[in-house]
Structure 1
Amino acid sequence: MSRITLLRSPLSLLTVPLVLAGSITQSAPVAAQSESRGVLEEVVVTARRRAENLQDTPIAVSAVGSETLERLGISDIEDVETLAPSLQFSQTNYKAPAIFIRGIGQRSGNPVLDPGVGMYLNGVYVPRSDAQLLDAVDVENIQVLRGPQGTLFGKNNIGGAILVDSKKPHSDEFELAAKMTLGSHGRKNAKLSSNIPLTDDLALRLAINAKRSDGSIDNVNADNALFDQDRMAVSGRMLWYATETLEVDLFGFLSRIDERGSPYNCKFQNSGAILTKGIYRDANGSNLKEACDLSDSLAGDFKVSQNDEDARYAIDNHMAALTLRWPMWGMDVESISSYALQDNIAISGDSDGTGIHIVAVGPDAGRQVFDGAGLSTPDQQRTQFTQELKFNGSAWDETLNYTFGAFFARETLDDTLDGTDVGDNGLVAVGPDAAVDLGIPLPNNSVLPVQANAAQNANYENKTKAVFAQASWDMASWFQVTLGVRYTEEERSSEHTQITPDYVEYGNRLNAQIGSDPAIVQPVAHYQDGIYSPVSLQQYFAYQAPQVPLVFAEPLVGDTRFSEVTPNLTLTYLATDDTLEALNLDSFIVYGTISKGFKSGGLDIRNTQTSANIQQFEPELVTNKELGFKLDALDSRVRFNVAVFQMDYTDLQVALYERGATATEVIQFTGNAGEAVVDGFELELTALLGDFTINANAGYTDGDLVEYSLGTNTADGFAVVDRSGEAFPQVPQNVRGLVVRYDWFSDLGIISPQLQYYYSDEIFIGTDYLSGEYESSVISQYELYNARLAWEVNDQLSVTAFVDNIKDAPYFVGGIAVTSVIGVANRVPGTPRQAGLEFSYRF
């Protein structure tokens, strides 16, 4: 169990232990801390599935408590990015961010892929990356575990794990707290939380968090702005001591998100890409390059030009978990059972990033394809059941501490819709240049009509079974050996239904319009793929785009199984009292770790240029070698933690955008891509200097693609392309952060100004074999300055003013370049300067 601790001083009420060294803080009356002002308190973490002092735990872990979250105004999990080195929440194709730790993650939202970083809410694994954007509703602490967590956690997490624990109810007293935030761009947030003692043995916590904002990135092509917020989350937790030995912990979480998708500033790259050759029937224009150049010109003003319907982010999350704790045979036993459901899913990205409806991809694009056919869209639904049984114990006068248990998970994804909606309900045209490439003669002032819509409906079932054990043996007062192992079996089955237009019938529907407009005089015939015989440009623009008849292919069914043993060995030196005295330190450990991580493979549909079938991709494997130390010094006023690592990364799972089976089709496919080596280091520092608190962190991640050869559909046919010279995707090489806070204890209360700085290096956003040839596939480095001024009037009332992005300088936080098929790099802009006020009151 992780408990929030505090600084033993008045500083603890308002200091900001970013805890780049991992400090977790908790509010307490000022008078209770004044005697030991300026001392870093012990931090308790659960990185090894038991409560331990952070500074004695030989794992690279950052921990952030509820007070720190409040001090920094953090209400979204993704904002923790600035507090922990080597952690990135990367914006790619959809609004839901992809999580990376030490360069390892998964940027695709494809449901065949597991995330590379595990997210756990009260010990329950959250399986889908687009459901990991959890609002910090009633959070006790957040722990970021860096490096493979392949032994003790419910799913193997090759990059690391993020543990989110909500506040536990207690029977001591009734509590009620309210917080309201008002700010720029129509921001209105409200949060209400309470602790309700029901009996001496039964207590309840309830919390609700609502967020609204108009959006901070203006869309000049619509009367709205992006990065809007419209979400609500509710959590409840009940703790019942049913007997003297049995603890019953019931948790529920509900959230609803219904927002516009990510903003994009388009940068044109490749005039030879399939979609750049299209002539589009849109009120905002017909040419992708012109629309993309307009979008690019708006980047310096925090504006975009996007199609209003092509980017959505909507999802409902439901979770219930029952945790039982009791002693048995001298051990502490914990059973965690959970059920989760996601529905009302409408997620898509405006993949061209322009004001023209050129191409949208994702579940909501699949809905557009069904709507364009006059069909009802199947209701996508995801469910997950998990069960874990864990035993903690000790032996030999507590010199041996051990944990063992078993884990099971079953996840089903029903009616998982994906689609590509192109042009005017799939109707586009190509001109002379494309016609030459296709070998089709084209008369003057003529174009080739094309029908380019496609969709896929799939059902998935994923099962995970695992047993695990880990033991730490204090062989001497100064030396500890930790050995762990996990055996995992993964079963994957899927059923994919490919949905394509009935090209002949679609041609008949075009021809049925002959005579309905003076320009429509010439019949068309299906020529090949989705391409029709030439018509005049005037006739093409005169068509009314008809409903698209769809053909549902026979389902492609497959199943597969993977298994892996993932061991962990850690050697730890703990300095003795004599050593600490000689070094003038308060605590000091050095540890070395060798560990292995595993992420399941799976099945995906691939349309090669000769066939469509289910193909298997293999598991990812990571071997991590790490050396680190942790120390407290200067009478526990300074905490400094360092980790150096090297990871051998094999069979990288890569999501590719490529040409499909036809000349007009764009598909996404998952494959494996050889080997990589990731080197790096991390620094975390917390220092208390009088009334100042200084927190700093820095991370360096250098990923090298040693072998990276992929078979892909190119303009010249299927070929194996060597991409080992590419930069490591989606991960900045250098990141660093700094927070400086001063606490002034005045007669009017505690007044605390605070300045926060964050720097991120450049990021490679390419996805396919051509992306590395363009400078625009790299977004530049950026830095941010945020400021807060907090006034704690008394123990009940506090008021905070804040300004984010003080410099108001444009920057990009992520993106995706799909160079070979769309021909553009889409870059996600950061938010402009924002200001506001927060009001908090504790009853």
Structure 2
Amino acid sequence: MVSKSRFVYYGMSVLSAFALAPLANAQALNGKPKAVLEEVVVTARRREEGLQETPLAITALSADYLDAMGVSSIADVETLSPSLQFSQTNYKAPAIFIRGIGQRSGNPVLDPGVGVYLNGVYVPRSDAQLLDAVDVANIQVLRGPQGTLFGKNNIGGALLVDSKRPNADAVEVELRVTAGSYGRKDGKLTANIPWANDAISTRFAVNSKRSDGYIDNVNSSHNLFDEDRLALSQRTIWYATDTIEVDVFSFLSRIDERGTPYSCRFQNSGAILTQGVYRGSGGENLQQACDDSTALADHFKVSQNDQDAVYAIDNQMHALTLRMPVFGFDMESVTSIAFQDNIRISGDSDGSSVEGVGVGSNAGNFVFQAGGISAPSADRNQFTQELKFNGSLLDDTLNLTFGVFYAREELNNTLDGTDVGDKGLVGIPGGAALGLPLPIPPELLLPVQANTASLADYENETRAIFAQASWDVNHWLQLTLGLRYTEEERSAVHTMIVPDYDEYANRLNAQIGSNPAILLPVVHLMDGIYSPVSRGQYFAYEAPDVPLVFLPSIKGNTTFSEFTPLFTANFIAPESLADTLNFDSLIAYFTLSDGFKSGGLDVRSTQTGSVLQQFDPEQVRNTEFGIKIDALDQRLRFNVAVYQLDYTDLQVALYERGSTNTEVVQFTGNAGKAVVDGFEIELTALLGNWTINANAGYTDGDFIEYDLGTNTADGFAVVDRSGEAFPQVPQNVRGMVVQYDWQSPIGRIVPSLQYYYSDEIFIGTDYLSADYDSSFIAQYETFNARVLWDVSEQLSFSGYVNNLKDASYFVGGIAVTSVIGVANRVPGSPRQFGVEMNYRFQ
């Protein structure tokens, strides 16, 4: 447990910075300011409030600021908010973390640790959370557990993405075009159309993003980190009466891209798959192929098997929102449906040019194809209904928010697979430790058939009731109390698909005599492993189709429930005190809140069978102290939060050896207890024509208990991993944007420079990863530059250069040390440049 004195030390350090910042900036100003900071309205407590009046750690980014910074998806927000990370792991869709809490795995049995809401509608799956910012009005980053008011309990925090409301003022059409390096070609068209005598207004938006990719895959003609995305949205508002509003929203997107690039770093020669002899154009030796990839790391290049990395998914969401007064309260009803299909998501787990290990849904497709059959199409759907009421009592001194929430999610034909080698065929040297009863000479190879796949259907149901009340005790004190009760039901039907090992031996033996090198028959010795053959015979085989066996389905269901309370005390400085301190406004708040994320059912599979096992819910208790200040005639804004999170039953995706030592087994477990503590600072200052936006975050996560049973090289054992670093989260991050507003004779010109720094990141997954320095991604910093030229109210141009120093770095990755024996690191972007044109039709 982190000591109280350490927690107080963080607070005192931040308060010292808070005390000095206004003085430093006051000395920098000469004369009366010409401009002030805008009033920012947020909905973090499910009603409209001023940012500086809300006792919650929030970053609020307006549409104008997002456009000025070139933000085109929510992942770009990472550098603009403290304690927010979009971590790159096994698949291209990043995992979102806030204050060290998130979910690195894309396994559909796991809910994200950070919730994403589009116009108030929860986006349930992490691979569907990378929403293109089609027509965004604002993005709000809520840090800390949102366990009371939001549709799903989000233990790390929440991202609220709101699209622009249509208006009845006039027809508006806007076109934005971007062209840049690496084949960048983006187009965005928005339109606002009032109709039906201005009783109805509609906004349309379409956004196309195309890029050839900026990471060169030397083993393919295709670059990686390419983009091929199309997104459309419409929002229609009908003012049915003076008091009834009907809001209809639709969002559709299509993504069809190659997957995450990996720079491979070899780790563990004892991992059985690193000893494998592979077939195919990528080479036979994983260690050599991995070393070849490492040599390219400083040049924004990788050497990767082209077919194993893919990211494709179609999303659509439709929502109907009704707003009207009911019995003196403002009622809001949000009904939504969402669908995902055409899902092909896989990662190249060995990160090299060899035909090694591919995992994910597309790898499952390859397993089925190797069996000569087609996999059924996966699809997902979600229905949600929320009914919320806002109102006030006692002469507006008591503000109430309460309501109910329901969600049902179905995931059908969820496909996963492990595609190893050439149609599953790998050669293991006879000297490898496979647990065979007799030693095999190392010059002989044991053919191994290592393909597996699974099909699963999941149903998730959530029911919740919530209420929160804020009482203005007097003019300087507000108390808030909230409570949510949640019930979660989870059910799963899982079918394991494995090779028919005896029939596979028959198909190998059917080739005897077809090639002079193929002389000896093989016999199935044990699960997936066959009797030894010469190297020549192994390479002479034509890899046959893999006969598949569908094991009996296993079923299960479970239920969880939890109360999640919140208490906040908010001190609002009286005007006299604020004047004495030379502040325009000051609030200080203390929050004690709980967060909860449902447990579920996951399958722990081997090549011989499967077990459906339950994992428990995650729970977090957040203790937080924050201060928000506006000063210098609203020219300076300074917000700080100090927090401690007590984290229990962490849900972790684990990788281990299977029963035959040739399998990559992934399953979900609970990792005991952890404590995360730290602080966040946000500063905005107007200094004449200069604007400075700065943020910094410190996140220190420590495992208190982390004992997990896993298959090791010496058999099953309980391993104490409490000394490991917290995964995927940098301890220190900081960012700054400096802008200068110049009213020139040819129009307004705004140059800006952005800086971002991230500490090292631990990317390990299994019990051996922490033993290798290569399981850590080094710290990095980037500099980006932009210039905006407003020629007129209709026409503007922008130019940008990202990664000015053209320095190589890594932004994430995954190390599967015990089984595959490599660390895969995701490279960052090289220097990129481009120009944008924005035109508003009148």
Which residue, out of 437, 459, 465, partners 1:467?
Answer: 465
Q: Which residue of 1 aligns with 2:342?
A: 344
How far residue 662 of structure 1 moved from its aligned partner, in angstroms, is 2.8
Secondary structure at the counterpart of residue 433 of structure 1 = coil
Q: What residue number does 2:111 align with? A: 114
- Work out which of the residue numbers 229, 232, 235 in structure 2 matches 1:234: 232
Match of 1:633 in 2: 631
Please say if residues 529 and 664 of structure 1, whose CA atoms lie closer than 8 Å, have aligned partners that are also in contact: no
1:730 equivalent in structure 2? 728
User: Normalized against structure 2, the TM-score is what?
Assistant: 0.95
CA distance in 2 between counterparts of 1:536 and 1:755 reads 62
CA contact (8 A) 1:762 1:780 kept: yes
Counterpart secondary structure, 1:244: coil
Find the counterpart in structure 2 of residue 306 from structure 1.
304
- Which residue of 161, 164, 169 maps to 1:167? 164
1:78 aligns with 2:98: no
Identity of aligned residues (%): 69
Instruction: Please report how far the alpha carbon of residue 608 of structure 1 lies from its aligned counterpart in structure 2 after TM superposition.
Output: 6.9
Counterpart mapping for 1:253-652 below 5 A: 253-434=251-432, 438-443=436-441, 445-607=443-605, 612-652=610-650
What do the CA deviations read for 1:2-34 (whole angstroms, capped 9, x no partner)? xxxxxxxxxxxxxxxxxxx9xxxxxxxxxxxxx
State how far apart, in whole Å, the 2-side matches of 1:233 and 1:62 are: 25
The residue aligned with 2:151 is 154
Structure 2 counterpart of 1:180: 177
Count residues in correspondence. Answer: 810
Secondary structure at 2:788 match in 1: strand
SS of 2:291's equivalent in the other structure is helix
Letter in 1 for 2:205: A
Question: Is 1:54 the equivalent of 2:51?
Answer: yes
Change (3 A) 1:510 1:487: same
Deviation string 1:171-208 (CA, Å, 9 cap, x unpaired) is 11100000000000000000000000113210000000
Query: What's the C-alpha RMSD, in Å, of the aligned pairs?
Result: 1.2
Match of 1:772 in 2: 770
Q: Is the contact between residue 151 and residue 568 of structure 1 (CA under 8 Å) also seen in structure 2?
A: yes
Cα distance in structure 1, aligned partners of 2:754 and 2:441: 63
In structure 1, C-alpha distance between the alignment counterparts of 2:481 and 2:820, rounded to whole Å: 49
Q: Which amino acid aligns with 1:179?
A: R
User: C-alpha distance in 2, partners of 1:57/1:516?
Assistant: 77
**1:244 Cα deviation after fit:** 1.9
CA shift at 1:607, angstroms?
A: 3.3
Distance of 1:831 and 1:111 partners within structure 2: 29
**What is the CA-CA distance between 1:320 and the residue it aligns to?**
0.3
Give the counterpart letter for 2:593 in structure 1.
Answer: S
| Separation in structure 2 between the aligned mates of residue 555 and residue 710 of structure 1, nearest angstrom | 27
Determine if the alignment matches structure 1 residue 64 to structure 2 residue 71: no
1:577–1:223 Cα change, 3 Å = same
Q: Distance in 2 between matches of 1:822 and 1:157?
A: 33
Please tell me the residue identity of whatever aligns with 1:769: Y
* Preserved CA contact (<8 Å) 1:609 1:713: no
Match of 1:104 among 88, 101, 106: 101
Counterparts of 2:479 and 2:413 in 1: how far apart (Å)?
Answer: 48
Corresponding residue for 1:798? 796
**CA distance, structure 2, for counterparts of residue 325 and residue 442 of structure 1:** 74
Q: Report the Cα offset of residue 437 of structure 1.
A: 5.1
Give 1:443 deviation, angstroms: 4.2
SS in 2 for 1:721: strand
Native 8 Å contact 2:432 2:442 kept in 1: no
Change (3 A) 1:759 1:698: same
Q: Structure 1 residue 444: deviation in Å? A: 6.3
Deviation at 1:610, TM superposition (A): 9.0
Among candidates 657, 660, 677, match of residue 658 of structure 2: 660
Q: CA deviation at 1:380?
A: 0.3
Other-structure match for 1:11: none
Q: Is the 8 A contact 1:608 1:713 kept in 2?
A: no
Per mean C-alpha deviation after superposition, the further-off stretch among 379-388 and 238-247 is 238-247
Name stretches of at least 5 consecutive residues in structure 1 with no aligned partner.
Answer: 1-20, 22-34
Q: Confirm whether residue 94 of structure 1 aligns to residue 91 of structure 2.
A: yes
Question: Does the 8 A contact of 2:527 with 2:607 survive in 1?
Answer: no
Change (3 A) 1:436 1:588: closer
Deviation at 1:620, TM superposition (A): 0.2
Distance 1:555 1:80 in 2: 43
User: Secondary structure of 2:578's partner?
Assistant: helix
- Aligned equivalents of 1:550, 1:791: Cα separation in 2: 62
3-state SS of paired residue (1:226): coil
Deviation at 1:242, TM superposition (A): 1.0
Alpha carbons 1:486, 1:567 under 8 Å: kept: yes
Give the drift of 1:435: 5.2
Measure how far apart 1:609 and its partner are.
10
Question: Aligned letter for 1:75?
Answer: S
1:548-578 C-alpha deviation (Å, 9 max, x unpaired): 0001011010000000000000000001111
- Tell me the equivalent position of 1:18: none
> How far is 1:440 from its partner?
3.7
Contact 1:607 1:661 in 2 (8 A): no
Where 2:660 maps in the other structure, the secondary structure is coil
Q: Give the C-alpha shift of residue 606 in structure 1.
A: 1.1
Cα 1:355–1:611 shift into 2, 3 Å: closer
Describe the superposition over 1:332-366 as per-residue Cα deviations: whole angstroms up to 9, x where unpaired.
00000000000000000000000111000000000
Supply the distance in 1 between the matched residues of 2:443 and 2:59 (Cα, whole angstroms): 64
2:60–2:140 CA contact under 8 A, matched in 1: yes
Matches of 2:431 and 2:600, distance apart in 1? 39
> Which amino acid in 2 is paired with 1:818?
V
- Counterparts in 2 of 1:55 and 1:322: CA distance versus 1, 3 Å: same
Give SS of 1:225's match. Answer: coil
**Aligned partner letter, 1:420:** T
Contact 2:434 2:660 in 1 (8 A): no
- Partner deviation per Cα, 1:675-733 (whole Å, 9 max, x = no partner): 00000000000000000001100000000001000011111111100000000000000
| Separation (CA, whole Å) in 1 of partners of 2:227 and 2:671 | 37
Q: CA deviation at 1:611?
A: 6.0
CA distance in 2: counterparts of 1:115 and 1:354, whole angstroms: 29
Q: Deviations over 1:101-130 (max 9, x none)?
A: 000000000000000000000000000000
Q: Residue 439 of structure 1: CA displacement?
A: 4.2
TM score, norm. by length of structure 1: 0.95
Quote the Cα distance in structure 1 between the aligned partners of 2:494 and 2:267.
Answer: 33
| Aligned-partner SS, 1:580 | helix
Secondary structure of residue in 1 paired with 2:431: helix
CA–CA distance in structure 2, aligned partners of residues 814 and 480 of structure 1: 42
Q: 2:250 aligns with which of 232, 249, 252?
A: 252
Structure 1: distance between partners of 2:309 and 2:607: 30
Corresponding letter in the other structure for 2:467 = A
8 A contact 1:628–1:644 mirrored in 2: yes
Does the residue aligned with 1:630 lie in a helix, a strand or coil? Answer: strand
What is the rounded CA distance, in whole Å, between the counterparts of 2:514 and 2:467 in structure 1?
74
User: Partner residue of 1:26?
Assistant: none
- Unaligned stretches of 5+ residues in structure 2: 1-17, 19-31
CA distance in 2, matches of 1:303, 1:440: 44
1:493·1:559 contact (CA, 8 Å) conserved in 2?
yes
Corresponding residue for 1:203?
201
Provide Cα deviations, 1:262-299, integer angstroms capped at 9, x if missing partner. 00000000011121111101222111100000000000
User: Is this contact kept in 2: 1:650–1:675, CA < 8 A?
Assistant: yes
